[in-house]
Structures are given as structure tokens and as C-alpha cells.
Amino acid sequence: MTVDAKPVAELPDPRDFGFSVVPEEEIPAELVSLVEEVRSLVDAVAHTKAGAEELTAAREAVAAASDRLKGERHGVGTMIQQSWPDGRVEYGTLTNIVAGPTNAAAPPLRMEAAPEGGLRGEAVLNGTYQGPPGLVHGGWVAALLDQALGSAASAAGMPGLTANLDVNYRNPTPLDAPLEITARVSGTERRKVFVSGEIRHDGQVTAEGTALMVRMNLPGDGGA
């Protein structure tokens, strides 16, 4: 179903709407490396059996590290501009909880153009994303799909916000295992963008989702 589809010729530049934008290539390699280390730290803390002395020493080391980073900060809402090998430029938020490259709480998920159309990405979620024993929390399964579906709409030139998300959990989604996430636009109607996607492990669908994204109301849309 495609009615009155209006993909934008070029994605709007968030700078034109007053947002700060950081090009991904300007993120220092040292920050990328620090974020990786903090991801390991969160996992280590969540699972540690260390004794009181080691825990106290670790807390002091972490507090000292926090103090070192209490200088100038990016504001909430800062965006990141990512350029992909396929030539696609995407804007997201720097600290997006699913895909933000500087957010140590993000897995992170990165979506690239899939040969069959739409987008494809891979992620491994460790034990800090746990719901049932050994399995990814259902809310995080939904979050992965929401992000992938939103990215698919954005990659098709129709960035927007999720108005509705439906998730079917078909099989358990394992922790510490490679997950494949796929998403694509299935139809449009005025500003409504219908998207669908799946999460797979070892080729088996663990969850599938559909969403309605409502495309950003841009100047010149005439309210369509």
C-alpha cells in the first residue's frame, strides 16, 4: 500500500532546526575505546563475586574516573551524523539508548543497507540486558525492533516518530549470542510510514515487529 508517499529528497539537517550535530568521525577514538571499557565494567559489576576490599577499591577507582569526566558536556538532544559506505547519511541522537555510539548502556545496534532492500544489523546483548534466565528482556527486544524500524523509515527518506509498535515474541532471544536484525518500509499513506522487521538467531526468527512511524512534519508539507 503506497498512497501519496512523500519521501524527502534529502534528509533534513537537524542543524536547521537548532540541534547540535556531531559528525561521527569527530568522536575521539579514545572516547570510543572508553565507552567499550565502560560496557565491560557494567557487565563486570553486574556479575561480580568480588569481596568487600576489592569492591571498595573498584568503587574508588570508578569515582575517580567519574570526577575526571565532569568537565564540559554535550547537551541532551545532541545529534550524531553518520555516513555509511552506501552513501546514506543518517542522523540520530548521540546517546540513543539502542544505537548511540557514546552511550555505554547501548548494545549498540548499527544498521546498514541490506542487499535485499531495507536495513540489516547485528548485535550481541550481554547479561546486563537479561530478562528471563539467559534471555534478552522483552522490553529490549522491542527496543531493538523500534530502533531498527525507525532507522528503516529514516533510511528511506522518511524520518519520524513511532506512533504504534506491535511485537510478536516467537522464540526466546538468547543473551551473549549474535542476533541479526532486519527492517524495511512496507507501505506509506500520507505521513504514515508502515515498517516491519525481525530479530533472528541462527536463522530462526525470535521476534517480529510492525510499526507505524509518523513522518516528521516538515516545512512545505502543507500538512499532508
Closest by CA to 207, choosing from 151, 181, 174, 169, is: 169
Least distance (Å) between residue 22 CB and ligand DCC: 14
- As a 3-state breakdown, the chain gives helix, strand, coil percent values, each rounded to 5, of 30, 35, 40
Contact letters for ligand DCC, residues 80-99 (x by CB under 6 A): -----------xx-------
33 burial class (0-12, 13-18, 19+ CB within 10 angstroms)?
A: exposed
Residue ranges in 160-179 that form contacts with ligand DCC under rule CB under 6 A: 161-164
Residue 38 Cβ vs ligand DCC, minimum distance, rounded to whole Å: 23
- For the window 14-43, what string marks contact with ligand DCC as x by the rule CB under 6 A? x-----------------------------
Strand 192-201 relative to strand 204-215: parallel, antiparallel, unpaired?
Answer: antiparallel
Radius of gyration of the chain from its Cα atoms, rounded to whole angstroms: 19
Q: What's the rounded Cα separation, in Å, for the pair 45 and 48? A: 5
Nearer to ligand DCC, 125 or 212 (CB): 212
Closest residue to ligand DCC, based on beta-carbon distance: 150
CA 96 vs CA 49, 99, 100: distances in Å: 31, 5, 4
Q: Does 151 bind ligand DCC (CB under 6 A)?
A: yes
User: Near ligand DCC by CB under 6 A, which window of 24-32, 43-51, 119-127, 184-192?
Assistant: 184-192
State the residues that interact with ligand DCC by CB under 6 A. Answer: 14, 91-92, 146-147, 150-151, 154, 159, 161-164, 190-192, 212, 214, 217
